[in-house]
Amino acid sequence: MLSQQKADGELLELFGKMIAIVLLLALLGVLGFRYFGSVNHIAAQGLRIDHTRLLNVLGMIKAQWLAQGRPKEMRLDWDTGVSMSLDKNSTQNTSDTNFVKMSTGGWPLPNKLDSAGCEQLWYQLLGLDTASQQVVSLLGKEGDVCIYIANNFDHLGYQLTSGRVIFLTNDKE
C-alpha cells in the first residue's frame, strides 16, 4: 500500500509539472503572437514617418533648385560626401553619386531608371539604406514612379515627373 501511495504521489507531482509547463508554453505563445503581430505594425510606422520626411525633403529640394537657378543636376546641401555603394566592386567616384539629376519641374530623378537607381535616390534623399529598413525599391512599369515597399506590403510611390508622393497602407481598419 505504501508503494502505491508513493507511485501516486510521484504521478501527481509529474502531472503538476506537466500542467505548469503547458501553462508556461501557452503564456509564451500568447506573448510571442502579440510581439510578432506588432512587428509589421512597427515597420508600417517607419514607412509612415519616411513618407512625412520625404515630403519635407522634396519641398526643400524644390526650393533649393529654384534658388540655384533651376540646374539640371545639383548637389544636396545636407549631403556629407559619404555615399552608399550599391555594388561592393564599384569603382564609381563618390562625388558622382552625391549629385542628383533634376527633372524640368524641379523634382529629383534617379541616376539610372531601374530599381537600383530608385534605391540610390532613396538613400540620397533620406540618408537611409533600404536594406536596413527592410524596404524594397522598384521602378514602376511605365518608368515614371519609384515604388518603395515595406515588409508588410505598405508602399510609398514617388512620381518622378510630378513629385507626388503617395503612401498606401495595407490596414484593414
Q: Cβ-count burial of 80 within 10 angstroms (0-12 exposed, 13-18 middle, 19+ buried)? A: exposed
How does 113-130 read in b/e, with b if 16+ C-beta sit within 10 Å? eebebbbbbbbbbeeeeb
Higher pLDDT, 167 or 79: 167
| Percent of the chain predicted with pLDDT > 70 | 83
pLDDT at 113 (0 to 100): 92
Chain-wide mean pLDDT for the chain?
Answer: 84
* Cα 111 to Cα 67: distance, rounded to the nearest angstrom: 22
Separation between Cα atoms, residue 128 and residue 115, nearest integer Å? 16
Whether the per-residue pLDDT at 158 is higher than 90: the answer is yes
Overall size of the chain counted in residues:
173
Q: What backbone torsions phi and psi does residue 72 show, to the nearest 5 degrees? A: -80, -20
pLDDT at residue 131 greater than cutoff 90: no
pLDDT value at position 120? Answer: 92
Mean pLDDT for the stretch of residues 16-32 = 94
What's the pLDDT score for residue 141? 92
How do strand 99-102 and strand 73-75 relate by DSSP bridges? antiparallel
Q: What is the pLDDT of residues 56-87, one digit of tens each?
A: 999 999 999 999 999 999 987 665 555 444 44
73 near 101, Cβ under 8 Å?
yes
CA distance 23 to 27: 6
pLDDT at 42: 66
Nine cell digits for residue 6: 508513493
Confidence of residue 173 (pLDDT cuts 50, 70, 90): low
pLDDT of residue 66: 95
Q: How many other CB atoms are there within 10 angstroms of residue 44's CB atom?
A: 19
The domain limits of the chain are 40-168
Least trusted range by pLDDT, from 12-21, 84-93, 152-161? 84-93
Q: Comparing C-alpha atoms, which of 115, 113, 114, 76 is closest to residue 97?
A: 76
Question: Which of these, 88, 107, 111, lies nearest to 98 by C-alpha position?
Answer: 111
